[in-house]
Structure 1
Amino acid sequence: MKKKLLTVLICIAMVATFATGCSSTTTPEKPAAETPTVKAVEKTKVFVSADWVKGVIDGKQPESKDYVIIEAAWGQVSEDKAYTEAHIPGAIHLNTDEIEEEKKWDIRTGAEITQVMKNYGITKDTNVIVYGADSGAARVAFVCIWAGVENVKVLDGGLNAWKKAGYPTKDGIETAQATAKDFGVTIPAHPDYVLATDEVKDKLAKDKNFRLVSIRSLDEFTGKKSGYSYIKRAGEPKGAVWGHDETDYLNEDGTFINFDKAVAMWADQGITKDNEIAFYCGTGWRATIPWLMAYENGWKNIKLYDDGWFVWQMDEKNPVQAITPEEASANYKK
């Protein structure tokens, strides 16, 4: 009995010795707090953190298999000092002229956008991450979703958030890698996300549940100024309500406000989730911000009036208003 007990004790001691030896040669894991967030997010999740983007770049999540990072801005890359002096490593500059028509600034045709996607190595399955210094990033993100890209993200806070997180930047120009792959669906995959002027006029006249929501400054909405050097007329399409300017959707650090705050702003103007909503601005940039926020939060009743004030005011027969937000929303509030 004692011999058997002694044998058991020896075995236990040997196991403990081996366990101790193994643990002493194993490199400790990096504390979780120091590791960028690598958790995959839902495809309809739009706004992501710098840590999440870094996790993609470092290959620590499924989205790392096929991704493209875009810094969106108007103008040629060679003239964009902000990009050439400092951008996220691997980020490709996209001139917004590539996705918009020259005369009306509407989204280009499906065939044209198909070629843009090929040029930038994007298919419907590519994880597209966009950032920029203004609402051009939201504009590009919207066009990608409209086209049919299933996983589109916007870096919340832009390059400043990236730098604030302590991540490195790169200078110079990075070249897009075109793809020979088929996009995967016919572009646009979601033509219903966009309304044209005739459709908006028809809905304003016949649909009491429709809300045409201006994402422009208060001075633009009330007709004190046009807001654009190339747009002479001031005012708004008759029947529009105010959804606040893009600056009201931003926190002081450049990140986007909580969606609940946006919903409260809209409710104050008689705009709710039960309405069919078409956001617009002058030429389609600012309006994509609230669209993306609503899309991310599961709202299904949202559109973009892509023609915007620019096209509306071109036809003098289109009715125009220059009133306060309170006056505009009076007919819609219960």
Structure 2
Amino acid sequence: LTNVAANLGISQKKHIVLVAMQDNAHTLAATLRIYWILRMLGLSNLSVLNGGFYAYQQAELPTNNRAIQPIRKLFDAQIQANAVAYTPDVKQAIQHYTPLIDMRLEDFYHGTDKHAFANFSGSISGADNIPWSTLLDDHHHFLPLAQLRKLFAPALLSAENEPVIVFSETGHIAAIGWFVLSELLGHKSVKLYDDGYLYWQSLPNARLQNTDESLGQLYGLIYAPNEESCH
């Protein structure tokens, strides 16, 4: 990753602006995931163009199609591991009631739909649901900060900067939630569970909620959370 960044002319001294080139959620999520990766490499002078290239075009700002050859820069990564959560972190979060936020759409959270490669529908035990789509308008601009704070308030139990873990199916779409919490709302302790629900549900004795209980018991994978653990 360090070599890729250097070849693109990225350095600690440059201001990097990331632009989603298509007006859809997956392109935005990919853009924000790149932002998250650059943050983990220690870059701090980063921005994202709100609304992406679509918004830029709608504003009738100048464009061209000239290819630019980047000049390689010396890039010394300063790894910031506090932006990523691993499976042991999620297990601890369940035990200590640390907020877990499922950024997937409601049907996936409630177990009425599931990923094609998932054995079990539902979500990680104790997780709340804030669908990524609720954070954006129809053209993938972020909602005003006051609305974003209101959306996240029920999931953040007490202190503004308590630890919180966001996740999605594979850690892709969850980058939207991480960006909103960390970079727009200024939450100081946000981690993205990179493995995501797809990996979690495949683990022996994975703790799940909103899943097919009879199927889960058959495979010995269901954890039946009590009321206290379902915040």
- TM category, shorter: 0.7 to 0.9
Residues 239-272 of structure 1 deviation map (CA, whole Å, 9 limit, x = unaligned)? 2111x22211112332101122122122234545
Q: Percent of counterpart pairs with the same letter?
A: 23
Q: Among 183, 189, 213, which residue is 2:101 paired with? A: 213
CA 1:318–1:298 in 2, change beyond 3 Å: closer, same or farther?
same
Q: What displacement does 1:137 show?
A: 0.9
Q: Is the 8 A contact 2:126 2:230 kept in 1?
A: no
The whole-number CA distance in structure 1 between the counterparts of 2:210 and 2:164 is 21
Residues 126-174 of structure 1 deviation map (CA, whole Å, 9 limit, x = unaligned)? 21111213311111111111111121111100111101110233347x3
Residue 131 (structure 1) aligns with? 19
Correspondence 1:50-199 to 2 at 5 A: 113-132=1-20, 133=22, 134=27, 135-171=29-65, 174=67, 176-181=69-74, 183-186=75-78, 188=79, 190-199=80-89
Question: What residue identity is the alignment partner of 1:193?
Answer: A
Q: What displacement does 1:117 show?
A: 0.8
Structure 2: runs of 5 or more not aligned = 212-224
Structure with more relative contact order (C-alpha pairs < 8 Å, separation 6 or more): 2
The whole-number CA distance in structure 2 between the counterparts of 1:263 and 1:120 is 35
Residue 220 (structure 2) aligns with? none
Q: What displacement does 1:285 show?
A: 2.2
The whole-number CA distance in structure 1 between the counterparts of 2:50 and 2:81 is 26
Equivalent residue pairs, number: 209
The whole-number CA distance in structure 2 between the counterparts of 1:195 and 1:303 is 5
The whole-number CA distance in structure 1 between the counterparts of 2:204 and 2:65 is 48
Question: What residue identity is the alignment partner of 2:76?
Answer: G
Q: What displacement does 1:197 show?
A: 0.5
CA 1:238–1:176 in 2, change beyond 3 Å: closer, same or farther?
farther
The answer to whether the aligner puts 1:202 opposite 2:92 as a matched pair is yes
The whole-number CA distance in structure 1 between the counterparts of 2:157 and 2:9 is 39
Question: What residue identity is the alignment partner of 1:251?
Answer: D
Q: Is the 8 A contact 2:8 2:72 kept in 1?
A: yes
Q: Is the 8 A contact 1:125 1:150 kept in 2?
A: no
Residues 164-203 of structure 1 deviation map (CA, whole Å, 9 limit, x = unaligned)? 110233347x35525141x1343x2x10111101121023
Query: The residue matched to 2:99 in structure 1 has which SS?
Result: strand
CA 1:165–1:238 in 2, change beyond 3 Å: closer, same or farther?
same
Moved over 6 A (4+): none
Note the aligned Cα RMSD (angstroms).
Answer: 2.4
Q: What displacement does 1:316 show?
A: 3.4
Structure 1: runs of 5 or more not aligned = 1-112
CA 1:178–1:234 in 2, change beyond 3 Å: closer, same or farther?
farther
Q: What displacement does 1:332 show?
A: 7.1
CA 1:178–1:282 in 2, change beyond 3 Å: closer, same or farther?
farther
Question: What residue identity is the alignment partner of 2:4?
Answer: V
Query: The residue matched to 1:268 in structure 2 has which SS?
Result: helix
The answer to whether the aligner puts 1:267 opposite 2:153 as a matched pair is yes
CA 1:229–1:176 in 2, change beyond 3 Å: closer, same or farther?
farther
Which of the pair has more CA radius of gyration? 1
Question: What residue identity is the alignment partner of 1:203?
Answer: A
Query: The residue matched to 2:142 in structure 1 has which SS?
Result: coil
The whole-number CA distance in structure 2 between the counterparts of 1:140 and 1:202 is 27
CA 1:332–1:301 in 2, change beyond 3 Å: closer, same or farther?
farther
CA 1:176–1:141 in 2, change beyond 3 Å: closer, same or farther?
farther
TM-score of the superposed pair, with normalisation by structure 1? 0.57
CA 1:124–1:212 in 2, change beyond 3 Å: closer, same or farther?
same
CA 1:282–1:255 in 2, change beyond 3 Å: closer, same or farther?
same
TM-score of the superposed pair, with normalisation by structure 2? 0.80
Residue 316 (structure 1) aligns with? 204
Question: What residue identity is the alignment partner of 1:115?
Answer: N
CA 1:271–1:175 in 2, change beyond 3 Å: closer, same or farther?
farther
Q: Is the 8 A contact 1:282 1:309 kept in 2?
A: yes
